Structure 1
Amino acid sequence: MLGLAPLPISPLLPDAVPLSARLALRERPSGAPLLRQQWSELLFMHWPVPAELLQAHLPPRLRADTHQGQAWIGIVPFEMSKVRTRFTPPVKGTDTFLELNVRTYVHLDGVPGVWFFSLDATSPLAVLVARTFFHLPYLRATMRLDQPSAELRQFAATRTHGGAPSATFRATWKLGAQLPPAEPGSLDFFLTERYCLYASNKSQTKLYQGRVAHGPWPLRAAQVLHFESDLLEGHGLPTPAGKPLVHAGGPVQVELWPMQQV
C-alpha cells in the first residue's frame, strides 16, 4: 500500500512547454489514421514525483514535462474496444481487451507527449502488434474488470509475460459526479489531454513519435476504495508517497497514426 506523506515539489525543471503548444496538438493530424478504437472505464491515478527522478529513467533526448515545476507519474487501467485498422472492420474476439499502463509526461523540443514505462494487455495479438510496429513496451497479462454496481468498479491484473518483471495490480473505485471539461492550463488538462506519444528501441538509440486524436476527455470524480500494486517498483521507481490524484474517464473514440522516427 502507498504511504500518505506528500512529496516536495521539485525545482529542477521549469515548465518548458507553452500552453499554445499543448493546444496545437489537439488539432487532428492530416492523412488517414492507422488505427481506430474506443477507450472506456479509465481510472487515472497520478502522483507527484521529483522531475530529476523521472529524468534518470528517460531516453537522453526526452525531458520530463512539468506543471508548475512538478512532474507526475500515473497508473491507468481501462478497457479498449472497437479496435480496428483503417482497412478492416473490428474482428470479434480481438477487438476488445483490457489494458493497464504506467506512464509519465515528457516533451521533445517542446512537443509534449506521453512516455510509457509499461503497457500490460490481455490480448496477445495487441501485444505483438504494438511491440513490432509501435515500439511500445507492451506485455501480456491476465486482467479482470468487474462492475458490482452502477458506481463501483474493480480491476485486477497479473503480468504473465515471459522474461518481464512480475507485477500485480488491484483497485476498487467509486464513480462520482460528472466533471466539466478540463480547463486549458489546469493540472487536469496537463494530466489527461495528451495527443502525442513517444517510444524507443531497447538501447534507447532511436526515438519514435506518434500522434493520437480524440475529443476532450469526459471526466468524472472518483474515489479509490482499495489499491495495491508493485508496478512502479518493477521499473526501479520508488513507491510514491501520498494518496493519488484520481479521475475517471471515457468513453472516447480514438484515432492513432503510425509512429515516426524523430
Structure 2
Amino acid sequence: MSAEPLSPPTGLPLMRQRWSQLLFAHWPVAPEVLRPYLPARLELDLFEGQAWLGVVPFTMSGIRPLGLPAVPGLSNLHELNVRTYARLDGVPGVWFLSLDASLALGVWAARTLFHLPYLHARMSLTRTGHTLRAQAERTHRGAAPARFAAAWTPGTALPQAQPGSLAYFLTERYYLYTAGPEVAHAATGSTLWRGKVYHQPWTLREATLSTWESTVVESHGLPTPAGPPVLYAADSLDVWIQELRRV
C-alpha cells in the first residue's frame, strides 16, 4: 500500500493552503543510493523493488492558520522540493531532502515550527498561454548552491490514480516525515516527526516538458538522474495541514 485511503482530517487542522501550478517529475533510483539520506528508523518505500526520487515545483497560496484570514504578502509562495518516499510502522509518507521556497518568513516558520528542511531561494512560477515556467536560485546561507529552470505544458486529464499504480504511489501521499531542518544531521539523529495532510485526490494530467535545467538533486551529492522523468502535471486543490507528532 503506497498511501492510506483518503479520509477526512481527524482532530483540528492547524493550517489551510492551496497548491497549484504543480509538476511531479520522478526518476527510478537504486535503493542503496538513497538509503544514506534517511534515518535508520525509516524504511525506504519502494515500488516493485525500486526507490523513486522526485523534484516538484508548485505555488502555495492562501496560507493561513485555521480560523484566521490570509495575510497579504505573507500567504503566497513558490516551492521546489526534492523528495523520496519512506515508511515507518507500515505508514507511508514523503521524505524531503530539501524544500526551496521564496518567502523568507515561510522558510523560518517551516524550519522552526515544523522541523522541515526549507531553504531560502529566489523563485518565480509563471504561466504563458498553456505553458508553465519555474525558475529558482537557492540563496540560503551555508547551503549548497542550486539552480532550477523548467517549462512544461499540462495536457489531457488522466483517469484518477488507483491504489497499486505507479501514479498513485508517487502522488497520493497523506503523511510526511522529518527529522529536523538540517538533513545532513537528520539522517544520523534519533528524533523523528510524522505529519498528516488531507486533500481530495489529485486530478493528474499528461505533461510535456520543453525545458529542464537543474542542479537541485546534485546539490545533495546525488548523481544526475538518468533518462527522461516520469511526469504528471496536477490541477489545483485545497490542502489541510495537521500538527507534526514525534514518533
TM-score calculated relative to the size of structure 1: 0.90
CA distance in 1, matches of 2:173, 2:94: 7
Deviations 1:53-112 (A, max 9, x none): 111211110111011111100000000001000141111111111000000000012110
Alignment equivalent of 2:136, drawn from 157, 164, 167: 157
Structure 2 residue identity aligned to 1:27 = S
Q: What is the CA-CA distance between 1:23 and the residue it aligns to?
A: 3.1
Deviations 1:156-199 (A, max 9, x none): 00011111111000001111111111111100000000000000
CA distance in 2, matches of 1:102, 1:28: 27
| 1:84 has 2:50 as partner | no
**Which residue is 1:247 aligned to?**
232
**Which residue is 1:193 aligned to?**
172
| 1:28 has 2:8 as partner | yes
Deviations 1:200-228 (A, max 9, x none): 03442200000000000011110111101
| 1:256 has 2:237 as partner | no
**Which residue is 2:113 aligned to?**
133
Identity %: 50
**Which residue is 1:6 aligned to?**
none
Q: What is the CA-CA distance between 1:146 and the residue it aligns to?
A: 1.9
| 1:72 has 2:52 as partner | yes
> Secondary structure of the equivalent of 1:23?
coil
Q: How does 1:4-153 map to 2 (within 5 A)?
A: 18=1, 22-24=3-5, 26-149=6-129, 151-153=130-132
CA distance in 1, matches of 2:135, 2:83: 18
CA distance in 1, matches of 2:133, 2:18: 20
| 1:168 has 2:147 as partner | yes
CA distance in 2, matches of 1:250, 1:59: 33
Stretch deviating more after TM superposition (234-243 or 201-210): 201-210
**Which residue is 1:15 aligned to?**
none
Structure 2: unaligned runs, 5 residues or longer: none
CA distance in 2, matches of 1:105, 1:64: 6
TM-score calculated relative to the size of structure 2: 0.95
> Secondary structure of the equivalent of 1:147?
strand
CA distance in 2, matches of 1:196, 1:72: 16
CA distance in 1, matches of 2:126, 2:202: 22
Aligned residues: 241
Structure 2 residue identity aligned to 1:260 = R
| 1:222 has 2:201 as partner | no
Q: What is the CA-CA distance between 1:147 and the residue it aligns to?
A: 1.3
> Secondary structure of the equivalent of 1:107?
strand
Q: RMSD between aligned alpha carbons?
A: 1.1
